[in-house]
Amino acid sequence: MFAVLLLLQALHSASSVGLDSSSPPQAEALLQDDECQSPSSSESAQCALNALQIERTASEEAGTQEAEYNSTSQRWVLTLYHQTSHSAGKSILKHGFRAGHVGWCGAGIYFAMSAAATSQKIKGPDSHGGYMIEAKVDVGRVKHMPWHCTTSPSCNHHPFAKCQDRTNRGSWLHRQGYDSINFQPDPYGQEYVIFDKSRVVSMRGYSYHR
């Protein structure tokens, strides 16, 4: 209850600085999500406030990207970035994305909010650099997750490839009524994760030097 009261207070404060009724519905949905439910009220409150902060930042960044939102179809298209190798990039442009094998949120397709941020995030066993994919992604209904997403928080102290989630979470996410995941695992910005490549509306690729 304490966590919910804190979140309601934070939502009220956020509305006074720009999150009005015309904002997309993700902020209101935070009260209905279950990822912040914890036996500890302080942990629940912190997770809820972190999710609200991510939502506010996403709204601001989406505004600079001229994001497209349709309230009827729940279509929420963002310009997102994925760095990979030249050969993989050419394959993606030709055949579409394939889910990776491991990650904080499982075996999915990961995007950063900016091209620059991708250089700080290509750390996993499936990550490579030198080629940028700029994609228009329909993230749909977004589930906000804590920094460690579906992986145990203790994984931060071990080699990522050995302990991060290897499960494709697409079905799990769909059963809850969501289309994508938003989380922030590091100081370099948020990430969006999708599990269905058809959510990529369009894309272009170019060489990119870190």
Q: CATH code at 76?
A: 3.90.228.10
Residues 90, 146, single domain; the answer is yes
Segment 68-85 shows an average pLDDT of 81
Tell me what percent of the residues of the chain surpass a pLDDT of 90: 50
* Whether the predicted pLDDT of 12 surpasses 50: no
Distances (CA, A) of 141 to 1, 27, 109: 25, 11, 16
Bridge-based pairing state of the strands 142-144 and 180-183: parallel
Residues 78, 60, single domain; the answer is no
**Residue whose tokens read 């279950």:** 34
β-bridge mates for residue 165, sequence order: 103
Choose one of 29, 64, 99: the last residue of a domain.
64
Domain of residue 4, residue span: 1-64
Q: Quick one: pLDDT band at residue 36, thresholds 50, 70, 90?
A: low
Q: How many domains does the chain have?
A: 2
* Whether the predicted pLDDT of 81 surpasses 50: yes
**Residue whose tokens read 């509306």:** 201
Please report the beta strands in 19-148, taking only residues with DSSP state E, as ranges in sequence order.
68-70, 75-84, 109-112, 131-138, 142-144
Q: Is the pTM of this model over 0.85?
A: no
Whole-number pLDDT of residue 167:
94
Residues 96, 197, single domain; the answer is yes
